[in-house]
Amino acid sequence: MTSPQFRGTPRKKDVYPTSPDGSIWFGSPVPQIASTLIAALAKRSEIVWGAARLRIRGFELEVPEPVVADESALVELETRTPVVLKHEDRYVLPGDGPYLDRLRHNLAHKADVLGLPAPREVRLLEAGPRRRFSVRGAPRIGARVRIGLVADPRFVDALRSWGLGLGLDTVQGFGWIR
């Protein structure tokens, strides 16, 4: 799931601004889990998020586009939540020297875990602003990204389920691909 994302809010330092118009994305690559989420949301009129009560005005099922079977085609993936990457115990952001190398390393590691070939090409196409979150008292710093990837279609499908991060940060919802 993503944190609530609100439209039409000005950025303010040290404040998470809200508005009456926002969205939260819940997802799962497992159809049984997705259908349970839909059934649960259909029965509710609001979600309590921390101290905020968010009214549900509707929901929509998004089905990902099928992955092109051409392994030489550039596939674009965009994250809905920030990608959190570290290099030598320091968070790195798009534009930092080691960022693309760390992203490539993480993707190659995921491919290896899955027994699939590593991506042949990884490009950073666009990056959002730096975002800082506190998760159980520990900071997480990252940015949403849009990447171009030339990879095995099975690996692209796996990334849509797994996300772009690695380890605990991915489990916590960072790097979720829309």
Domain edges within the chain: 5-55, 75-171
Choose which CATH entry (3.30.70.1900, 3.40.50.2300, 3.30.300.30, 2.40.160.60) describes domain 75-171. 3.30.70.1900
Per residue in 1-31, pLDDT (tens digit) is 667 777 777 777 777 777 778 877 777 766 7
- Distance between CA atoms of 57 and 121, rounded to whole angstroms? 41
pLDDT at residue 123 in the model = 95
Strands, sheet with 75-78, edge to edge from the N-terminal-most edge strand: 75-78, 145-150, 121-127
DSSP 47-89: EEETTEEEE--------PPPPPS-TTS-EEEEBSS-B-EEETT
Residue 169 token pair: 């940060």
Nearest residue to 70 via CA among 151, 148, 147, 146:
151
Per residue in 80-127, pLDDT (tens digit) is 888 888 899 899 999 998 999 999 999 999 999 999 999 999 999 999
